[in-house]
Amino acid sequence: MEFNVKSGNPEKQRTACLIIGVSQPRKLSRAGRQIDKMSDGFLSTIIRRGDMDGKLGQTRVLHNVPGTLSDRVLLVGCGKDKDLNEKTYLKILDSLSAALDNLGAMEAYSYLTDINIKGRTIDWKVNQTVMQMEKNRYHCEQLKRQKNEAPKGIRKLVMNVPSRRELNIGEQAIQQGNAISSGVSLAKDLGNLPGNICPPTYLAEQARRLEKTFPPVVVEILEEEDMKELEMGSFLSVSAGSRQPAKLISLEYHGGPSDQKPIVLVGKGVTFDSGGISLKPGASMDEMKYDMCGAASVLGTISAVAEMQLPLNVVGIIPATENMPDGLATRPGDIVTSMSGLTIEILNTDAEGRLILCDALTYAEKFDPDVVIDIATLTGACIVALGRNPSAVLGNHSPLVNDLIGAGKQIEDKVWELPLWDEYQDQLKSNFADIANIGGREAGTITAACFLSRFTKKYKWAHLDIAGTAWVSGDNKGATGRPVPLLTQYILDQLEEK
């Protein structure tokens, strides 16, 4: 879909559809009042008759509204003014999006960007509009031979900005919204693909595709022999049970000066997690195809950053493997040596994410990072602790953690901090090795992060557990593309600081 910003009076817009907000009870927005005046009270009459109360989610299409140059006027209910906030704004956009899908119009001009949301400027509203429209238009059709009929609906949406002075920031917000949306859509596509179609090799091919599309992206792919040479005994203990070759993918985006330290993103890429010898129960095991959503978010973020041609350096590292039971698979009780030299007693082969991440985190040192952020569908315990709204964040550097929390708030892709206190480290004690790979039933998300923290002492680091946010289950099941918006916003914020 194409987006645009313009500034002007509603009655002067020659468009297939004017979009006007109505708040509760029966209150026209400023653009609405302007149209009402030009049409001798046409809108207020309709509202007085009770056909449009302004309730959140309500929509009405009007044809032949006098005094306008547009074919239709679409009234969108915005709820009570006092209830307006980020959440309700997104709901308004959802109902707009659904209403536009059912119109014959090919383009529309929206005044919903005029709605006042406390603390939010025009660029936020434009950016959210772009992302929400694109989000609602996403369908996973990659593997359907019978594609759904292309839904009708508009091709182009113009958003109003208060004056010509805001045209520039509006256009920039559109550009960012578009780049983030394509990153989200890439992450969703990859997340939704099943394990048989998206093994580690497929993720490597996707990295190569980004390298072809964006010249500043350089990709390197390490094979299992290379990892043996690097002594990544922990990572290789997970791939040992899989017939699919593991890959260690790195993508370097060079947008900034060559001496500028990169932001390094490390994404868990378990293309299917059966649990290994500690086999998972059967119920919902299909969802473990999503266990590479951390990797997908790294690819999506690199794509967004490259599309915006941001002037800084970003590195993506993806340890990609399957976790399968097999004669050669790692057994519970096995002890392996990680690339860092620490030995690990593997008490549960289903705690495999940390085993591949720890070697990838040691590998990250070679990029001399400014900061390292890892992203992983790491623990079911995260869903128990926080549910499915925020991702969890833990780290060894509070300014970094706070930057991530702030970026998440800004772009509506929230994270919430859990404590990474030393007290929890004791749960990882092992009688036979330096560290055990599980910490018992309690505080599972925290002890998983404690495990990673043993490998991240040389740099500023934060860990995002996206187990509850990377996908949704049920009738509308599918990958969400989170936390691509959060990561991209964080990177944009760093740019502003520099």
Site for Mn ion in 332-351 (CB under 5 A): 350
Residue recorded with tokens 């002067």: 12
Nearest approach, Cβ of residue 269 and Zn ion (Å): 10
Q: Render 78-118 in DSSP notation, one character per residue.
A: EEEGGG-SHHHHHHHHHHHHHHHHTSS-SEEEE-GGGS--T
Would you state the structure tokens that stand for residue 96, as one six-digit string? 């707009």
- Out of 36, 114, 211, 291, the residue judged to bind ligand BES by CB under 6 A: 291
Nearest approach, Cβ of residue 419 and Zn ion (Å): 23
Using the contact rule CB under 6 A, the part of the chain among 26-34, 207-215, 349-357, 481-489 near ligand BES is: 349-357
- Out of 134, 211, 224, 350, the residue judged to bind ligand BES by CB under 6 A: 350
Which of the listed partners (Mn ion, Zn ion, ligand BES, none) does 380 bind, with a CB threshold of 5 to 8 Å by partner kind? ligand BES
Give the single-character DSSP code of 147. P
Expressed in angstroms, the distance from the first to the final Cα of the chain is 33
Residue 293 or 486 having the CB closest to ligand BES: 293
Number of residues written out for the chain: 498
Host H or E run for residue 304: helix 293-307
Give the single-character DSSP code of 243. S
Q: Does 353 bind Zn ion (CB under 5 A)?
A: yes
Residue 3 or 471 having the CB closest to ligand BES: 471
Write the interaction track for ligand BES spanning residues 399-438; mark x where CB under 6 A is met and - where it is not: ---------------------------------------x
Establish whether 209 is a catalytic residue.
no
- Out of 36, 252, 291, 412, the residue judged to bind Zn ion by CB under 5 A: 291
Q: Does 195 bind ligand BES (CB under 6 A)?
A: no
Q: Does 166 bind Zn ion (CB under 5 A)?
A: no
Q: Does 381 bind ligand BES (CB under 6 A)?
A: yes
- Out of 97, 132, 379, 488, the residue judged to bind ligand BES by CB under 6 A: 379
Residue 181 or 379 having the CB closest to Mn ion: 379
Q: Does 465 bind Mn ion (CB under 5 A)?
A: no
Residue 263 or 361 having the CB closest to Zn ion: 361
Residue 114 or 352 having the CB closest to Mn ion: 352
CA separation for the pair 454, 451 (Å, rounded): 6
**Active-site choice (354, 414, 454, 482):** 354
CA separation for the pair 163, 459 (Å, rounded): 45
Give the single-character DSSP code of 340. T
- Out of 11, 36, 224, 273, the residue judged to bind Mn ion by CB under 5 A: 273
Rg of the Cα atoms in the chain: 25
Q: Which residues contact 179 (CB under 8 A, 6 or more apart)?
A: 303, 304, 305, 307, 308, 488
Using the contact rule CB under 5 A, the part of the chain among 7-15, 93-101, 196-204, 267-275 near Mn ion is: 267-275
Secondary structure of 35-53 in the HEC alphabet? HHHHCCCHHHHHHHCCCCC
Residue 31 or 351 having the CB closest to ligand BES: 351
Q: Which runs of E-coded beta strand occur in 236-342?
A: 247-254, 263-267, 269-273, 313-323, 335-337
- Out of 273, 322, 359, 412, the residue judged to bind Zn ion by CB under 5 A: 273
Contact 324, 242 (CB under 8 A): yes
Pairing of strands 72-80, 2-6: unpaired
Contact 5, 174 (CB under 8 A): yes
Q: How many CA atoms lie within 13 A of 489 on its CB side?
A: 26
Establish whether 37 is a catalytic residue.
no
Report the catalytic residues.
Answer: 280, 354
Binding site for ligand BES (CB under 6 A): 273, 291, 348, 350-353, 377-381, 438, 444, 467
